[in-house]
Structures are given as structure tokens and as C-alpha cells.
């Protein structure tokens, strides 16, 4: 509750935004005082929200939710959600852009209308309460309104006998004298996430304004500051709960891969679902990305909505540009507690579009360095150097990711890679270490040393890639000796090692990683027309399923004593952390296209117990 004070600003707000305060608060209630005042007007001006984040709005006298309600910090401050899900499954869907445009799909969600879409939708709205003022005199004028840059981003609802209702001006609710006497419950939603902090930083001030018709210039205020929940991307310390994969109809390799993937997930012994998308796009990791947003709920819980980002890949053509079609799947996923977000801009170079795929946006797990904590980790993204302004990710999407604030990005130079994704060289796994995780880093030089050791052991004629083909009738089989004598492969491998060392330098500086926390993952590289890529299946490009299981691409290495040394190396490296490896063949379906298991799959994960609002960002 605020100390009553004169506030002409709020009066101007009422007059200019809602057509004049003189009509506010009028009712036919026979009780209370007459329209005139017999004494001083000293109203109870008390607006409450869930400031202490216990999931309940406390309206008791001196309640904890009253302390610091007009500020926002890691310790205190009210939170609300962007209500972008579809709780009653009202939104239409089609994979065909000619039937439903991208913009039409993006514009349909629960916050796009002025009604509460069922009881489930009501759970997505944060509550506010106007504390009852039983002695409110007749002709008391009152509003609850949202002020500031975010007012057009929100909608206020007021509980009435008919349920929660809104008005034409979404950011204002008028209160009658009768309502003031009884107390009022309100609800708030945002109609969007933060996309550009230059336009909106995610904060709003909700203001209770009270005056009397006999002296409308004397306005008394109480303000609550609220913040819309940021979108948080999942890190690998959280176990997978839903694994996604594309289903290519009539493709036996797709059938085989999905069957093997499903069996491996079942063996994990975790509560998990596998979802298949019938889309003509292999790269499930790339065309969308699951994330979440959350607000406090009763009992210390979090009420979360999964947010599925659509990749900002624009199919480049001089005469026609459209977003990557498979990304429309985010609108098919949309439903109860499932939201969809797309953001992109046209006019980017064709070459840079690969940077907008989500294999190029990963999450470094939580850590602390130099007294600075990252309780939700940090985004890890690839880009070109500053000297290559035309080889950068979509700037509007980058602004949106950075605007969430809770996972400040680290950027690596991936311009030397043909596909240019960070998941080609780096991955992260949960592990029982002081940090709680380890980093897997591609090591081409180690791959060469391992093959040299095989040669020195007298197995130079052992073959890699047995029975495999590069396509168009070109056999892939090669002996250890032939690969080591291939100057092109060795040169590409050496250059890749230098580039990865540069990436690792950045990771060390940004995270404090030590050698003991890095697992080296060996495979050779080769040159393509537009950069380097894995010659052997890139085993760093794996799917982290749980704390005890990863699914990795079969390296198809040479057999020495009946064993593939590349399999043995990774298995032995991960065994001390209690992690076993399930190997799967990705050669024909994915490796030849420049990707592996991680590229082929995607995963929604358990919402971490760490609450984003406690992180101080």
C-alpha cells in the first residue's frame, strides 16, 4: 500500500487514455456515503501481486507481498507470462504456406483475443489483487492500468460474476465503488515475449489509481512492477523428456534409424517420448528448438509453457523468399502449454542462412567464474569474424535471444566449417564433477595420432568405412595407411585442429574449463567447396539422453583385434562418469549430408529446478 499523494500524471493518463475519469466508479449502490464528502478523502490504495514469488497473492495486512512491490530484483518482484500457447486447440494449422501464411500461423494464440480461453488458459495468467476498502464512499473513481513502453504488450482481466473479462483498452480496467469495497481480483498476460529491448525491456508498471469525483485532481496511486518471463533454452544437465526426429516416408534408412533411436531411448529407463515429424527435412535439430518460460506457482513449483522457436532460415531465391517449411512444425506442436515463436528478417546473404539453424545454437551448462554466476548456463553460437559482416546470424533473432538476458551468449568462429554449426565441434554432458558437467571437444590431431598408432602396430591395411560409399558409385573404403598418406585429408585435419584450438581458447576464457573437464573426441576432417567437415562420422555430434546415456554415430573405424579404436576411445573416456554409449549408423542418411545424431534429432527436456528469476539478470 502506498502513502496517498497528489499525482496529476495519473489523472492525465485517465483522461487521455480511457475517455475521462468522471465516468469511472459510478454505480447504483445504496450503501456508503453520498456523492459529496463529509470529511477528508483518505482512500485505501493497495494493489498486490506475487512479489515474494510463492505463487500466491497475499492480501493480509502487512503481508509480505507488499514489501518492495514497485521494484524488481533477484530476490523479489512479480512475474507474468507471454500467453502464447493454445489451451483449447483453436488455432488452425497447415504445412502448406499457400493455405495459411507464416504470419497467420504466428498470430494465433491465446493472447491474440480478449477472452480467457478456458480453465487451463487461466492458469497461464498471473494474478493481482486490489485489497478491499469496505468504507469506500460513493463516487470514488478508480482504475488499474499499465503504464510505460510495455502497455501495448499486455492485457488486464478483471474477475466479475461472469468470470474474467477484459475491455477494449487491454491495459486498463475500471473499478466501481462496489468492487472497491469487496476487493478485486485481476489477471495479466503478455501478448509477446521480449524481442528488442530498445522497444520493450519486459517490465511493466501496473498502477492502481483512486480519486473522488468531488476532487478528481487529487489522485492516489499504488504501483506494482512486473516482468514478463524470459524464454530459457534447455541445457544437457536436464534429462530429455521428448525426443523429436523427422520421418521420411518410404525411406528404409529413416525407418532403421528411427527404430534404433526408439530402442535406445527405451533402454534409458527414463520417462520419455519419441515424436516423429512427417516432413521432408532430415535436420530436426536445425528447423526448430524447444525452450520454456516459467512463473512461480504455489508450493514452490514453476508454472511453465514450452516455447518452440522456429529457425530463422529463409530459403534464399532472387525472386522468392520464404521461411524453411519444416519449421512450421512449431505451430503444429502449439497447444496447451506449448507456444510457438518465429522471428526473422529478409535480405541476409544466402551463405549466412546456415548460421540460423539451431545446430548453431547450443547451451553451455550452468557454472560460476570469477564470482559471476550463470545458473541457467549460456548460449553458445557460431558466427563469422567481425571482418565478415555478411556471415553472421540473423540480427533480429540474435537481438531476441540476447534480450532474454538470463543466458548471455558466447560466440565462436565457425566460418571455417562448411555447415558452420557449433555442434560440429563441441558438446556438453552432465557428469559427477565439481562443475557438474564436462565438455566434449573435437580433436582431429588425436584422430591422426590414433591412426599412426594403428599403423605402427602393423595394421596399416585395416580398413575404415567398410561397405560404405560417398555416393555416385564412389566407394568410401580406405585403409589406415591410405588415409595417412592422403595429403588433402591431413592438411584439412591440421587446419581444423588449429581452428578448434582457437574455439577452445574462447571456451576456456569464458568458462574457466580445465583439461580435466575436457573430453577429446577424435575424428578426421576433409575439405569441401565451402569449408571443412568431418571425414569420419563426427562423434562429438551426439544426443545426450540422460546422465547415463548418449547416442553417438558409429565411426566405422578400422578393426584392430576385433575392436574399433575410435569406439573404444569414447567409451573409455565417458565410462568414469557413468555414461554409456549407444552407437547408431548415420552414414547414408545423415553423414553424407554433413550431420550426425545431434543434427538428426531434437529434445525437449525437464524444466530445471533452478528458477530463472533467482539468477539476478
Domains in the chain with CATH codes? 8-83+125-228 (2.60.40.1700), 232-274+289-311+357-604 (3.75.10.10)
- Relative to beta strand 469-471, strand 478-479 is unpaired
| 398 SS3 class | helix
pLDDT at 39: 79
- Burial string for 462-488 (b: 16+ CB within 10 Å, else e) reads bbbbeebeeeeeeebebbbeebbebee
CA dist 394 and 425 (Å) reads 22
Q: What is the DSSP letter of 311?
A: P
Using alpha carbons, list the distances in angstroms from residue 198 to 20, 34, 194, 201. Answer: 31, 48, 10, 7
Q: Which residues contact 343 (CB under 8 A, 6 or more apart)?
A: 195, 310, 312, 394, 396, 397, 400
Could you tell me if 74 and 610 are in contact, meaning their C-beta atoms sit under 8 angstroms apart? no
pLDDT along the chain (617 residues), means of 10: 40 37 41 59 96 97 94 97 98 93 96 95 98 96 95 97 93 96 98 97 98 94 98 97 97 98 96 96 98 97 98 76 92 98 93 97 98 98 96 98 98 98 98 97 98 98 98 95 98 98 98 97 97 98 98 98 98 98 98 98 97 95
pLDDT at 10: 38
Smallest CA-to-CA distance from 426 within 519, 313, 356, 512 is with: 519
Q: What is the dihedral angle through the alpha carbons of 485, 486, 489, 493, rounded to the nearest 10 degrees?
A: 20
Q: List residues bridging with 410 in a β-sheet.
A: 380
Smallest CA-to-CA distance from 291 within 304, 282, 303 is with: 304
pLDDT at 25: 42
pTM: 0.94
Q: How crowded is the C-beta side of 82, counted as CA atoms within 13 Å?
A: 26
Could you tell me if 51 and 64 are in contact, meaning their C-beta atoms sit under 8 angstroms apart? yes
Q: Which residues contact 425 (CB under 8 A, 6 or more apart)?
A: 412, 414, 417, 441, 442, 500, 503, 540
pLDDT at 579: 98
Q: Which residues contact 83 (CB under 8 A, 6 or more apart)?
A: 109, 110, 111, 121, 124, 125, 189, 190, 191, 305
pLDDT at 315: 84
pLDDT at 162: 87
Using alpha carbons, list the distances in angstroms from residue 100 to 342, 343, 423, 491, 526. Answer: 15, 17, 33, 49, 42
**505 CA to centre of own chain:** 26
Smallest CA-to-CA distance from 342 within 595, 109, 89 is with: 109
CA dist 430 and 365 (Å) reads 8
Concatenated DSSP letters for 415-435?
TTBSS--GGGTEEEEE-SSSS
- Burial string for 508-532 (b: 16+ CB within 10 Å, else e) reads eebbebeeebbbbbbbbbbbeeebb
**264 CA to centre of own chain:** 26
3-state helix, strand, coil split of the chain in percent (to 5) is 25, 30, 45
| 216 SS3 class | strand
State the helix-helix crossing angle for 444-456 and 565-574, rounded to 10 degrees. Answer: 120
Amino acid at each position: 500500500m502506498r502513502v496517498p499523494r497528489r499525482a496529476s500524471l495519473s489523472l492525465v493518463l485517465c483522461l487521455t487514455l480511457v475517455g475521462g475519469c468522471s465516468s469511472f466508479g459510478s454505480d447504483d449502490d445504496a450503501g456508503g456515503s453520498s456523492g459529496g464528502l463529509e470529511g477528508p478523502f483518505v482512500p485505501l490504495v493497495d494493489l498486490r501481486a506475487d512479489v515474494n514469488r510463492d505463487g500466491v497473492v497475499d492480501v493480509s495486512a502487512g503481508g509480505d507481498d507488499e514489501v518492495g512491490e514497485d521494484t524488481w530484483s533477484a530476490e523479489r518482484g512479480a512475474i507474468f507470462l507471454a500467453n502464447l500457447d493454445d489451451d483449447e486447440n483453436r488455432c488452425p494449422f497447415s504445412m502448406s504456406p499457400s493455405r495459411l501464411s507464416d504470419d497467420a500461423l504466428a498470430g494465433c494464440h491465446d493472447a491474440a483475443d480478449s477472452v480467457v480461453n478456458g480453465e487451463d488458459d487461466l492458469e497461464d495468467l498471473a494474478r493481482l489483487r486490489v485489497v478491499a476498502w469496505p468504507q469506500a464512499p460513493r463516487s470514488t473513481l478508480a482504475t488499474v492500468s499499465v503504464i510505460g513502453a510495455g502497455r501495448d504488450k499486455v492485457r488486464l482481466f478483471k474477475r466479475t460474476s461472469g468470470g474474467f473479462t477484459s475491455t477494449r483498452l487491454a491495459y486498463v480496467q475500471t473499478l466501481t465503488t462496489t468492487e472497491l469495497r469487496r476487493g478485486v481480483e485481476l489477471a495479466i498476460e503478455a501478448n509477446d515475449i521480449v524481442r528488442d529491448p530498445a522497444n520493450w525491456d519486459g517490465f511493466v508498471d501496473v498502477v492502481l489509481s483512486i480519486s473522488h469525483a468531488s476532487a478528481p485532481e487529487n489522485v492516489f496511486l499504488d504501483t506494482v512492477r512486473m516482468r514478463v518471463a524470459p524464454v530459457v533454452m534447455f541445457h544437457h544437465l536436464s534429462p530429455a523428456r521428448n525426443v523429436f526426429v523427422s520421418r521420411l516416408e518410404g525411406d528404409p534408412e529413416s525407418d532403421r534409424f528411427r527404430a534404433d533411436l526408439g530402442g535406445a531411448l527405451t533402454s534409458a529407463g527414463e520417462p520419455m517420448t519419441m515424436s516423429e515429424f512427417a516432413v521432408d527435412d532430415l535436420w530436426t535439430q536445425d528447423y526448430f528448438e524447444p525452450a520454456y518460460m516459467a512463473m512461480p506457482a504455489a508450493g514452490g513449483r514453476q508454472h511453465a509453457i514450452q516455447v518452440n522457436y522456429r529457425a530463422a532460415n529463409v530459403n534464399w531465391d532472387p525472386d522468392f523468399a520464404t521461411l524453411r517449411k519444416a519449421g512450421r512444425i512449431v505451430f503444429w506442436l502449439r497447444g496447451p502449454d506449448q507456444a510457438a515463436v518465429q522471428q526473422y528478417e529478409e535480405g541476409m546473404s544466402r551463405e549466412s542462412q546456415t548460421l540460423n539453424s539451431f545446430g548453431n545454437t547450443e547451451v553451455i551448462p550452468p557454472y560460476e567464474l570469477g564470482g559471476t554466476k550463470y545458473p541457467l548456463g549460456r548460449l553458445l553460437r557460431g558466427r563469422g569474424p567481425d571482418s565478415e559482416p555478411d556471415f553472421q546470424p540473423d540480427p533480429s533473432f540474435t537481438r531476441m535471444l540476447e534480450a532474454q538476458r538470463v543466458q548471455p551468449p558466447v560466440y565462436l568462429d565457425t566460418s571455417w566449417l562448411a555447415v558452420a554449426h557449433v555442434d560440429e565441434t563441441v558438446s556438453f554432458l552432465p557428469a559427477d564433477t565439481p562443475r557438474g558437467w564436462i565438455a566434449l571437444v573435437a580433436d582431429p590431431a588425436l584422430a591422426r595420432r590414433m591412426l599412426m598408432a594403428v599403423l605402427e602396430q602393423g595394421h596399416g591395411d585395416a580398413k575404415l568405412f567398410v561397405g560404405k560409399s560417398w555416393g555416385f558409385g564412389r566407394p568410401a573404403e580406405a585403409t589406415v595407411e591410405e588415409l595417412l598418406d592422403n595429403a588433402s585429408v591431413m592438411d584439412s585435419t591440421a587446419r581444423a585442429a588449429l581452428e578448434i584450438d582457437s574455439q577452445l581458447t574462447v571456451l576456456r576464457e569464458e568458462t574457466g574449463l580445465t583439461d580435466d573437464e575436457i573430453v577429446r573426441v577424435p575424428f578426421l576432417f576433409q575439405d569441401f567447396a565451402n569449408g571443412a567437415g568431418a571425414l569420419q562420422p563426427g562423434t562429438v555430434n551426439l544426443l545426450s539422453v540422460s546422465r547415463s546415456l548418449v547416442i553417438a554415430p558409429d565411426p566405422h573405424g578400422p578393426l584392430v583385434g576385433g575392436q574399433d579404436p575410435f569406439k573404444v576411445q569414447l567409451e573409455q573416456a565417458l565410462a568414469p562418469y557413468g555414461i554409456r554409449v549407444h552407437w547408431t549408423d548415420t552414414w547414408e542418411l545423415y553423414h553424407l549430408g554433413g550431420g550426425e545424431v545431434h543434427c538428426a534429432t531434437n529434445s525437449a527436456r525437464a524444466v530445471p529446478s533452478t528458477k530463472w528469476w533467482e539468477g539476478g539478470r
